[in-house]
Structure 1
Amino acid sequence: MAAPAKAQPTAKEWNKDVVGWNLGNQFECSAPGQDGESMAIGMADNSIKAETAWGNPVVTKKTIKAVKEAGFNAVRIPIRWQCHITNPTAMSIDKAWLARVKEVVNWCLSNDLKVIINTHHDKWLEGRPTNQYKDENNQKLALLWLNIASEFANYDYRVAFAGTNEVHIKDNWGKPEAENLAVQNSYNQTFVDVVRATGGNNAKRHLLVQTYVCNPDFGINNGDFIVPTDIEGNGNDYMSVEFHYYTPWDYAGECKYNFWGEPYKAKGEASPNDEKTMSEFFDKVVSTWSNQGLGVVIGEWGVTDRQKSGQTDLIHENMTYYCHFLVCEAKKRGFSTFIWDNNSFGSGSEHFGIFDRNAGMKVKAPWVLQGILDGKK
C-alpha cells in the first residue's frame, strides 16, 4: 500500500467525521489451548486459528464490505500478539499471522476504510502495570512495536496505531495507584518513541495513546495522564488520546436500568446519568485534550441488548436514542467513535452484537445501527 501524494493528516483531521466499528472477539482471541489470561509469550499450537477460537467465523472480504455498505468509514482491529511470537527475545511475529492481519487491513483499505491496529489482550503487558515489571515490559513493548511498525511503515495515512489497550491490575478495574498510572504513561512514551524511530510514513503516523484502563476518569483528572513527547516538529499534531466509553455502565453495560435520557425518564426507571452528564464530560475532554492540539478517539463504546416483556420495542427505541446522542455529540466535537461489536446476541450484559457474522453479516440490531447513522448525519 504505497503512500498517497498528499501529506499525512493531523490526528484531528484523521478523526474528523469518523464513525467506526470494532472487529471484536476476532484477532484478540487467545490461541486454541491457551488460557485467555495467560501471561506467556510464544507460539501456541495452531495459533493461526486464534481468529476463530472464541466462536466467530473467519473474517472475509464480505465482512468488511458489509461494514462499509452499512455506513461506517473506519474499522478498529484489536489484535493479540503474544501467542504469535516466534522469538520472545526479539518479540518476532509469526509471518503467517502478520500476513493474515495485513490481508484484513488491505481489505479495509480497498473499501476506503480507515484502520486502527493495536496490542489487545497481551496479558504480560496489560495485567502487570507495576514497577516490578516496568522495565521488562517497556523493553518487550519496544521490540514488539518495532516489529509491527516496521511491517506497516509504508502503509498510507489511513492506518493508525494504538499502543496499548485496557491496562489494569488483574481483576481490579478500580482506582489505580500512582505507580500504575506512571507505568501506563511510560508505555505510551515507549510506543511513540519506537514507532517514530522506524521512519517512513511512521514519522507522522496517527498514534493513539491511552489513559489507564482506557477509563477517561483516570486520565482527565489530577494530571494522571502525561502527554508523551513526540519528535521535534510534530508537537501534538499526530497523536490522539484514546478512551473507552461504556457510560453510564449501569445502563450501557450491566443493564441495571433499561432507560437513559430525559425523554425516557417517564417511561421507567432511568439512569441518573443523562444527556447533560455526557455533554459536560465531552466538553471537559475538549478543554483537557483537544485544546492541547490532540485528537480524541473513543476506541470502544456500546450499549448491550436487553429485552423485557411488553417493553422491548421501547427499550430498543431508547437504545437508538442513546446511540444517536453519543455519536452526534462526539462528532460535533471532532472525536472519532468506534462501536464495540462482539457478535453476541441476546438479553443482558455483554450482548453488543450488531452484524451476525455467522449469517452473512445480517444486521440483527438495526436499532443500534439506526442511532449511529442518524448521529453521523
Structure 2
Amino acid sequence: MGFGKKLTALVLAAAMTAAACSCGTESGKSTAGEESSQAEEKPDFRTEMRDDMTTGDIVAEMGLGINLGNTLEACGDWIDSSGGVNSYETAWGSPTVTEEMIAGYAAAGFDSVRIPVAWSNLMGDDYTVAPELLDRVETVAQYVLDNGMYAVVNLHWDNGWIAGFSTDYDTCMEKYTRIWEQVSERFAGYGDHLILESMNEEGCFDDLWNHYSGSEDGKAEAYSIVNRINQKFVDLVRSSGGNNPERHLLIAGYATDVDMTCDEMFQMPEDSAGRCAVSVHYYTPSTFCILEEDADWGKAKTTWGSPRDQRILEKDMEKLQTRFLDNGIPVIIGEYGCSTGNKTEDAVRTFLTAVARAAYSRGMCPMLWDITGVFYDRSSCKMIDSQLEQELRDIAETARN
C-alpha cells in the first residue's frame, strides 16, 4: 500500500475487495481455509495497544489521512432532530456513511481518517450525549479500524459554543468535561489506532486578543484559556479507564494556526504518559485555499505553485519542525485543502500534493479536508481525480527515500 508502513498486503486486499464490491465490480472468492488463515493473520486494530510505539511512531504509521468532513459534525437549529442521528449526519450533503465508503478510503491509499463530531447534537440539558450518537460515532470509527486505518475522533465546531470560554469559563468547562468524560468512557477499550483530539480550530478568543490588531493586550489571557482547555482534556482522558491512561492524544494548537501555535505562549499540556501530538491546519494562502471570488478582505488567487508560494510553504513547515519536531513533539496537519471553484485541476493538485509532500517528508501526518463530492466520491467509493490519487501514493512511496 502506498501510504505508511503499517498495513500488510492482506489488509489492503480486504479493503480493496470491499470497495470493489460497493461499486458493482466482480471480485474473487476465498475458500473457507483461506478466510480462516486471513482471520488469524489480521491484526486486531480495535483493541491492540502497543507499549513499544511512541506517538511519533504512531504519526508515522498514520501516513496520509483524510477527513470525513461535513458529516458527523453537521449541526444547526434548523435540523429536524426527530430523524435522529441520520438527520444530522446527512444535513450538510453527505450520504449516510457506509462501511464500503470507508473501505474505499483504504483502497485509495489513505492510512488514517479524521472524524469530526458535533457532540451537542441530541444532547440533554445535563450535557448527556444521546447514546445513539455515541453509538453512531463508534460504528463509523469501527469501520475505519476494521479497514486497518487510524481513526481520529474530535470535538468540532459544534455550533460554536467553545467561544463562550472567554465570558463564561465555568459553564463551558462543565460542558467540555461532561463531553470528554462520556467519549473517553465509550472508547476506553479501543487500542492505539483510536486517537482522541481535544478540539478543532475554535481554540482562539478574538474578543480577548485579535492577532491582526498588532497589540499584545489580552494575548496572555487568550492563550491561557486554550492551554487550560488542553490540559483538562489530557487530565480527563488519563483519569478514565481502559486504555485511556496510555492513549495517544492530539492537542489542538491555538486556532490550529501555524504561526500562533508556534508562538511561545502556546504550551503543550503536561502528560504523564508522554503521548501527545500537536495539531495545526493549513489553508495558506487563504486567498487561494478559501476564496473562489474576490472579497472585501482579499483578492481571490486562482493559481498556486510559484517560487514564492513554495518558499512560504517550506518556511511554515520549518517553523513546525523547529518548534515541535525538533523538541520531540509529533505534528499532525489535521486539515489541509482548498476550494476548487475558479481554479484549474492542475492548480488544486499542485497545492495539495506540495503540502502533503512537505509535511510527510518531515514525519508529519497531513490529513486532507474533504466533503462530499470534492475529492472523494462517497457514492462510487473512489477518488474523483485519479491523477491526484496516484500523486499522493507516489509521495508516500518516495518522499522519505
Contact 2:181 2:236 in 1 (8 A): yes
In structure 2, C-alpha distance between the alignment counterparts of 1:307 and 1:143, rounded to whole Å: 43
**SS of 1:342 mapped into structure 2:** coil
Pick one of 360, 363, 371 that aligns with 2:383. 363
Contact 1:300 1:340 in 2 (8 A): yes
In structure 2, C-alpha distance between the alignment counterparts of 1:180 and 1:47, rounded to whole Å: 36
Measured after TM superposition, the shift of residue 169 of structure 1 is 4.8
Which residue of the partner structure matches residue 338 of structure 1?
A: 367
In structure 2, C-alpha distance between the alignment counterparts of 1:33 and 1:72, rounded to whole Å: 34
Gaps of 5+ in 1: 36-43, 264-272, 309-314, 345-352
**SS of 2:121 mapped into structure 1:** helix
Which residue of the partner structure matches residue 195 of structure 2?
A: 160
Tell me which amino acid in the other structure corresponds to 1:128.
G
Contact 1:8 1:205 in 2 (8 A): no
**Matched-pair identity in %:** 28
Measured after TM superposition, the shift of residue 152 of structure 1 is 0.4
In structure 2, C-alpha distance between the alignment counterparts of 1:170 and 1:243, rounded to whole Å: 18
In structure 2, C-alpha distance between the alignment counterparts of 1:118 and 1:13, rounded to whole Å: 21
Gaps of 5+ in 2: 1-44, 213-217, 293-299
Moved more, 147-156 or 167-176: 167-176
Tell me which amino acid in the other structure corresponds to 2:370.
D
Alignment of 1:114 onto 2:150: yes
Alignment of 1:229 onto 2:274: no
Which residue of the partner structure matches residue 284 of structure 2?
A: 247
Which residue of the partner structure matches residue 294 of structure 1?
A: 329
In structure 2, C-alpha distance between the alignment counterparts of 1:205 and 1:125, rounded to whole Å: 26
The residue correspondences of 1:115-130 to structure 2 (distance < 5 A) are 115-123=151-159, 125-130=161-166
1:124 to 1:317, Cα distance in 2 relative to 1, 3 A: closer
1:95 to 1:190, Cα distance in 2 relative to 1, 3 A: same
Tell me which amino acid in the other structure corresponds to 1:216.
V
Q: Deviations over 1:348-373 (max 9, x none)?
A: xxxxx11122x323433345434422
Pick one of 21, 28, 32 that aligns with 2:73. 28
1:368 to 1:307, Cα distance in 2 relative to 1, 3 A: farther
1:304 to 1:2, Cα distance in 2 relative to 1, 3 A: closer
Structure 2 length-normalised TM: 0.78
Contact 1:77 1:117 in 2 (8 A): yes
Contact 1:116 1:160 in 2 (8 A): yes
**SS of 2:78 mapped into structure 1:** coil
Q: Deviations over 1:76-105 (max 9, x none)?
A: 00000012223x33x322111111111111
Tell me which amino acid in the other structure corresponds to 1:56.
S
Structure 1 length-normalised TM: 0.83
Contact 1:354 1:366 in 2 (8 A): no
In structure 2, C-alpha distance between the alignment counterparts of 1:323 and 1:375, rounded to whole Å: 11
In structure 2, C-alpha distance between the alignment counterparts of 1:294 and 1:356, rounded to whole Å: 34
In structure 1, C-alpha distance between the alignment counterparts of 2:321 and 2:195, rounded to whole Å: 21
Alignment of 1:139 onto 2:174: yes
Q: Deviations over 1:131-161 (max 9, x none)?
A: x222222222122101101110110100000
Which residue of the partner structure matches residue 248 of structure 2?
A: 206
Measured after TM superposition, the shift of residue 33 of structure 1 is 2.7
Tell me which amino acid in the other structure corresponds to 1:58.
T
**SS of 1:200 mapped into structure 2:** coil
The residue correspondences of 1:1-377 to structure 2 (distance < 5 A) are 3-4=47-48, 6-7=50-51, 9-17=53-61, 18-30=63-75, 33-34=78-79, 44-48=81-85, 49-86=87-124, 88-89=125-126, 91-123=127-159, 125-130=161-166, 132-167=167-202, 168-169=204-205, 175=211, 177-178=218-219, 179-221=221-263, 223-231=264-272, 234-235=273-274, 238-255=275-292, 256-262=300-306, 273-307=308-342, 315-344=344-373, 353-357=374-378, 359-377=379-397
Measured after TM superposition, the shift of residue 203 of structure 1 is 1.0
Aligned CA RMSD, in angstroms, stands at 2.4
Measured after TM superposition, the shift of residue 46 of structure 1 is 3.1
1:280 to 1:6, Cα distance in 2 relative to 1, 3 A: same
Which residue of the partner structure matches residue 347 of structure 1?
A: none
